[in-house]
Amino acid sequence: MNAPALRTIGLGKSFALRRQQAATRITDGVLQACRSFWQPRDEQFWALRDVNLEIQPGEVVGLIGLNGAGKSTLLKLLSRILHPTTGRMELRGRVGSLLEVGTGFHPELTGRENIFLNGAVLGMSRAEIERKFDAIVDFSEVSAFLDLPVKRYSSGMTVRLAFAVAAHLEPEIMLVDEVLAVGDVRFQKKCLGRLQDLAQTSGRTIVLVSHNPASLSALCDRGLLLEHGQLTYDGSIQDALKRYQNDADALTAEWKGNSGDDDVRLCHAWVRPQDCGGSWDTAASLEIGATIKIQHPIDGLVFGFRLHSEFDAELVYSLFDDAETGVATTIPPGRLTQKWRVPANTLASGQYRIAFEVGVAFQRQIHQQPFGELQFRLDNFSGIGRRYPVRGVRGYESLLRPDWMTERIMEPLDP
């Protein structure tokens, strides 16, 4: 058996949580210095603990977990951005990483200069980089801005260039965090297609972090599930996704806060079952609602939500947008609550997520899911309205439960 492309043994990473308060007077500083001699040391937070895994050359592995589970920390360790607290890791071959937006790019250098810089970091000669240069620029779609400093790029432009560099400079191991979510949908699909080509034709080893089940299912055969810094599952990607999606901690059906700016603030968002005793039953109608606080008169308010399935299919895009009529109505200051009703027996069993959007027509989008996303799961507890599911080629139940009637008519063949 070939040596693994990537191996970790007892890998762990901790960070110090400093409890010391800022001193406001000289005497406070002296007292704190004295106390430090007998006070216990800073508390240690373990972002990762005792992670053992092997990934073979050519494998495409999905890394899954809730926010804070340790996914990004693991990729930073594998990229050698962070040093492990415990354990060790072995990587064979060049490592290309696409982590946070701008990681590995020098903001003062131009896009052109950063391409050569990243290639040099990977150990490539200038001649090798020049052979790939045109393909990188074409893929990134930033040729018009190539000689501008990267600090002038938008986050989407930076991601496009960073992905193009990572995907074309031929590292044997690619580590990709969820930065692709920054780009537009068309470019995301383009990137996923490139990753598929790399996995199928060149045998690259790819570790991919994503919250998009559809992308992970399409690209990966193997899934790793991280929970609270520990590797809790290593197996098929479908089983890993099921375990992740069934985690009750991942479901948040209500949010309260005060997120926004001087124009609009989102105060409350929720999804609630209205029937069946308040249970999350497919036979219950659902109320989706949100309250925003309008700070001053706004012309052309845009306010709505997107409903997605667990496999990232967009089922509903409901938007209050009076600018569509060509006449922008002025909304006065105050609290505006909007509610939407989903009829019973509309959605099939499964997990769903809702992202709210608030903005002003013809201007920047003020907020998009500032608190993450609402998530909920429906099951057919009561059996009310149960019908044979509509199944696709893979045997999955359809996303919707139409209240239809099937009629079968049998007639004899003509003699």
- The pLDDT score that the predictor gives to residue 55 is 95
**Distance (Å) of CA 401 to CA 112, 398, 404:** 52, 7, 9
Hey, what amino acid is at 268? Answer: H
Please name the residues in contact with 197: beta carbons below 8 A apart, sequence gap of 6 or more.
none
- The pLDDT score that the predictor gives to residue 274 is 87
Choose between 366 and 222: higher pLDDT: 222
pLDDT at 366 over 60: no
Choose between 32 and 383: higher pLDDT: 32
Average pLDDT over residues 80-88: 93
Average pLDDT over residues 91-117: 83
393 pLDDT band, cuts 50/70/90, is very low
- The pLDDT score that the predictor gives to residue 384 is 47
Choose between 338 and 85: higher pLDDT: 85
248 pLDDT band, cuts 50/70/90, is very low
Choose between 244 and 250: higher pLDDT: 244
For the ranges 8-22, 60-74, 179-193, 249-263, the maximum mean pLDDT occurs at 60-74
Hey, what amino acid is at 177? Answer: D
Domain limits, the chain: 6-249, 251-378
297 pLDDT band, cuts 50/70/90, is confident
- The strand ranges marked E within 113-180 are 173-176
* Segment among 141-155, 236-250, 281-295, 392-406 with least mean pLDDT: 392-406
- The pLDDT score that the predictor gives to residue 5 is 93
- Cβ burial 172-194 (10 Å sphere, 16+ → b, else e): bbbbbbbbbebbeeebbebbbeb
Average pLDDT over residues 279-287: 83
- The pLDDT score that the predictor gives to residue 396 is 42
387 pLDDT band, cuts 50/70/90, is very low
pLDDT at 133 over 90: yes
Please name the residues in contact with 375: beta carbons below 8 A apart, sequence gap of 6 or more.
250, 251, 252, 253, 351, 352, 353, 354
Burial class (CB in 10 A: 0-12, 13-18, 19+), 322: middle
pLDDT at 184 over 70: no
Choose between 267 and 386: higher pLDDT: 267
pLDDT at 93 over 90: no
- The pLDDT score that the predictor gives to residue 386 is 44
Fold entry, domain 251-378: Coagulation Factor XIII; Chain A, domain 1 (2.70.50)
- The pLDDT score that the predictor gives to residue 35 is 57
**Which of 297, 241, 302, 299 has its CA nearest to residue 266?**
302
- The pLDDT score that the predictor gives to residue 169 is 73
* Segment among 172-186, 292-306, 398-412 with least mean pLDDT: 398-412
Average pLDDT over residues 318-338: 73
Average pLDDT over residues 294-300: 82
Q: What is the mean pLDDT of the chain?
A: 78
Class of domain 6-249: alpha beta
- The pLDDT score that the predictor gives to residue 395 is 38
